Amino acid sequence: MSLETSFTRRRLPLEFPFTISRGTTTETEVVTVRIEDENGTVGVGGAGPSAHYGETAATVEAVLPDLLAVVEEVGDPHRLDRIERRLREAVERNPAARCAVSIALHDLVAKRLEVPLYEYWGLDPADTVESSYTIGIDDTETMREKTETALERGHSTLKVKLGTDRDLEIVETIRDVAPADEVRLYVDANEAWTPREAVRKIDALAAYDLEFVEQPVPAEDPEGLKFVYERAALPIAADESCITVEDVPRIADRCDIANLKLMKCGGLREARRIVHTARAHGLQVMCGCMNESNASIAAACHLAPLLDYADLDGSLLLADDPYDGVPMPGGRIDLESLDRTGTGAVLE
């Protein structure tokens, strides 16, 4: 059995400038991996690297030849455990690069078996969740307008980025156009608050019927996260504090929800390990994303039957995605309507 591999780098503009507490982006660079077997069946996977975790499109490109050499050497794409173990041995860090290879392999394997990925995993396509749509930081009136646009597009679960000196004003304004009886809402501070500031703000935010607060304090302050968790009036989700499966036991007494991301953890097998480990520690589970195309978002959508929450709007935030993926009308991850095998990602 022989496999041919290649990869392509693309620059994709966002529909709107996207601001969080750490800064603003107007575009994203992604790298797409292609793995073809001897019968011409092609698996596709995407990397959406984040500089916050030490990766760029350039670093992904730099390590992919070593990673794809492992794939070609093993030869059989069904040897997923062996390949992913050897990928970690070849490149210890660079999780987004490894993830692109992992997704492409899973896509290829499911296509060879002529089933969608959720069926390969034995999951129920009817048991999915609705992805949130993110409202990035902006002036308050623009955030109101972006919220109105999201609602017009059918979204009823929103995530609002905070980390400003007007956080309460922002949430009050958004709730004015997105009432609690119609729209589920949660907020993400992206590590912007101090522990005591977080407790004060969360106490005030609780009046707006929020689902939870994501990463209120820096990941480098685990005791601060515990301080907030023990005193907060709302549930707490850990994102930057939860990278790989080894982090789950460390956050288990510091949050209510573990937020995994494929680009943080390095692959689909690791993502499923995080889900099951989080469950064993009594945590709920969310799957988030970076600014990504459907070359990777589509694969994450197949995890939906295992999740309590999804934040998989990376493709929806792009001005144009070259890849089509899993149908997501109004953010609802509709695996049942997927009429393609593998992850469902196809170049349009």
Q: Domain holding 311: CATH number?
A: 3.20.20.120
Which domain range does residue 220 map to? Answer: 119-347
- Please write the tens of the pLDDT for every residue from 198-249: 999 999 999 999 999 999 999 999 999 999 999 999 999 999 999 999 999 9
The verdict on 141 and 100 lying in the same domain is: no
The verdict on 104 and 160 lying in the same domain is: no
The verdict on 76 and 157 lying in the same domain is: no
The verdict on 89 and 235 lying in the same domain is: no
Q: Domain holding 107: CATH number?
A: 3.30.390.10
The verdict on 48 and 19 lying in the same domain is: yes
Q: Give the whole-angstrom CA distance, residue 110 versus residue 51.
A: 31
Q: Give the whole-angstrom CA distance, residue 94 versus residue 240.
A: 16
How many CB atoms neighbour CB 173 within 10 A? 17
- Please write the tens of the pLDDT for every residue from 8-34: 999 999 999 999 999 999 999 999 999
- Residue at which a domain ends, from 70, 88, 113: 113
Q: What is the pLDDT of residue 167?
A: 98
The verdict on 274 and 325 lying in the same domain is: yes
Specify the number of domains making up the chain: 2
- Residue at which a domain ends, from 96, 113, 130: 113
Mean per-residue pLDDT, 80-92: 95
Provide CB contacts within 8 A for 71, sequence distance 6+.
3, 5, 35, 77, 83, 101, 105
The verdict on 109 and 144 lying in the same domain is: no
The verdict on 263 and 163 lying in the same domain is: yes
The verdict on 134 and 103 lying in the same domain is: no
The verdict on 41 and 133 lying in the same domain is: no
DSSP code per residue over 164-226: STTHHHHHHHHHHHS-TTT-EEEEE-TT-S-HHHHHHHHHHHGGG--S-EE--S-TT-HHHHH
Contact 302, 345 (CB under 8 A): no
The verdict on 71 and 137 lying in the same domain is: no
The verdict on 175 and 297 lying in the same domain is: yes
Residue 1 has pLDDT above 80, yes or no: no
Q: What is the DSSP letter of 252?
A: T
Reported confidence tier of residue 92, pLDDT bands at 50, 70, 90: confident
- Please write the tens of the pLDDT for every residue from 33-80: 999 999 999 999 999 999 999 999 999 999 999 999 999 999 999 999
- Residue at which a domain ends, from 93, 113, 133: 113
Q: Give the whole-angstrom CA distance, residue 270 versus residue 252.
A: 18
Q: Give the whole-angstrom CA distance, residue 25 versus residue 190.
A: 15
Q: Give the whole-angstrom CA distance, residue 90 versus residue 248.
A: 24
- Please write the tens of the pLDDT for every residue from 313-342: 999 999 999 999 999 999 999 999 999 999
Helix count and strand count (H, E) for the chain: 12, 13
